[in-house]
Structure 1
């Protein structure tokens, strides 16, 4: 459009100069020729539009949005058409309490009231993309500022509307996944009506009031202490059972010895033991006592 504008100016100037009956008329002819060349060059260059990868183009002619979509690549279009590009890749819109982590500077987390009247702070990331075929509708009904007009308010409203159904501790622990699924369905339904596709919803962090956090920590510590006590009691019980079994074994052994062994059997066992000692190369055997009694083996070493 810049070349066309310069060409028009040069063409007008050429006509003005050509109207004069002097040497300026020659410059007027040159200016008109230059203007025509610039206009032609401008029209030629504006006929070709390149749409980058991951984007689509929407054509607007004299304020009217056309329904056909230009996908990535080179296109020949009407030089008077304006092209508005839309990013159709996955986009991430984050609202976080951490400074400069979200789309807005500063603390941009969502603060909601739970069912028990406590204020809960939620960090949220919305992964979405623009439906390529719906880009003309988005431009016509919303404009190209769909982040602030649709993504942000719809997401924050869905969080607040659903958080009131849960208690703060449930949001933090047992009901977190259920809560995330509910707000996903709510946002997805609203996005679909406006040409946006919700891909994933991430409840990144849920921060409870300090008083609730201390209560949870106390409960966790109490549960851990109870688990430790159960372990200690089980260990003591196992040790007591081990000692009982050991004592029973000793008692059974003593009972066997007192009732099951005769003097002759004891004498026989003693002879066997002394025989093994006698067979040792380091032993010298001296037999003392009566032949009827139990022999005594003395190690000479």
Structure 2
């Protein structure tokens, strides 16, 4: 009994075409890069001069040569926070907690990475922040750092950081000093002093308010006295008698009164009797 054998017949060169197709797929997958939202990229040319500083790539799908590499970095605004030990103007050590907002220049991303490396925050930003913080904080006393100078210090640190990073392809937007930690004894002394100053200001305010009220009452009393003096001087006996007669006549017209004139009162004023 003869055995039937099935033979698979591939087209001539079929295996070679499959190999080429698989290789093409692999090369294509390695040659495509998708840059996400808020990111940018630069090409590292393996067979060339390294980082290509002529062009930065934005969000979206990109094709690069398989022997090259796309370096992708965030280009949107970012923030880093740090705690620094610095000295005040009188040599007291304080801890400053701060946050800084920054972003790389998109059009110069290649130059930034080429000159400072991919970890440019550690290489460039951290030293600038620490140097600026030490320089600025060293101008103030602990009391100024703790209370009234916070916004001024933030602006001065920002100005110094921006000066240091000028032409370094890194933009610093804002500096926030979140907390200044002093030794407990110094902090307690400052808080006590501030409380006493506040109480003193409140006491001075109450005194000033009471003084103004006394002055107001004095002026009011003087005004009334002058008005009464003028009124008394203008009311002669004849005027008073005429006013009295007018009032008596008006009263006599009341339907509820029976008018009886008998003689006259003092100063010649009539007397009304018989009210019902």
* TM-score normalized with structure 2 length: 0.80
8 Å Cα contact 2:75/2:103 also seen in 1: yes
The answer to whether 1:278 aligns with 2:252 is yes
Indicate the RMSD between aligned Cα atoms, in angstroms.
2.9
**Cα 1:160–1:126 shift into 2, 3 Å:** same
8 Å Cα contact 2:264/2:271 also seen in 1: no
Aligned to 2:215: 237
Aligned to 1:152: 126
8 Å Cα contact 1:123/1:205 also seen in 2: yes
C-alpha distance in 1 between matches for 2:228 and 2:85 = 70
Aligned to 1:66: 52
C-alpha distance in 1 between matches for 2:27 and 2:175 = 46
Aligned to 1:197: 171
8 Å Cα contact 2:32/2:62 also seen in 1: yes
Instruction: Give the secondary structure class of the aligned counterpart of 1:110.
Output: strand
C-alpha distance in 1 between matches for 2:198 and 2:264 = 79
C-alpha distance in 1 between matches for 2:233 and 2:143 = 63
Instruction: Give the secondary structure class of the aligned counterpart of 2:52.
Output: strand
Q: Please, which runs of 5 or more residues in structure 1 have no aligned partner?
A: 1-25, 96-108
Deviates more, 1:167-176 or 1:63-72: 167-176
Residue in structure 2 matching 1:113, options 87, 95, 106: 87
C-alpha distance in 2 between matches for 1:273 and 1:214 = 71
**Cα 1:159–1:230 shift into 2, 3 Å:** same
Aligned to 1:79: 66
Instruction: Give the secondary structure class of the aligned counterpart of 2:165.
Output: helix
8 Å Cα contact 2:41/2:57 also seen in 1: yes
The answer to whether 1:210 aligns with 2:188 is yes
C-alpha distance in 2 between matches for 1:73 and 1:288 = 116
Instruction: Give the secondary structure class of the aligned counterpart of 2:246.
Output: helix
C-alpha distance in 2 between matches for 1:244 and 1:169 = 49
Deviations 1:222-253 (A, max 9, x none): 12211111111211222223223323433444
Aligned to 2:3: none
C-alpha distance in 1 between matches for 2:145 and 2:62 = 51
Q: Please, which runs of 5 or more residues in structure 2 have no aligned partner?
A: 1-9
Aligned to 2:273: 298
Aligned to 2:6: none
Of structures 1 and 2, the one scoring higher in RCO (CA 8 A, sep 6+) is 2
**Cα 1:47–1:293 shift into 2, 3 Å:** closer
C-alpha distance in 2 between matches for 1:289 and 1:266 = 19
Instruction: Give the secondary structure class of the aligned counterpart of 1:286.
Output: strand
The answer to whether 1:50 aligns with 2:25 is no
C-alpha distance in 2 between matches for 1:58 and 1:299 = 116
**Cα 1:202–1:267 shift into 2, 3 Å:** same
Instruction: Give the secondary structure class of the aligned counterpart of 2:273.
Output: coil
Instruction: Give the secondary structure class of the aligned counterpart of 1:140.
Output: helix
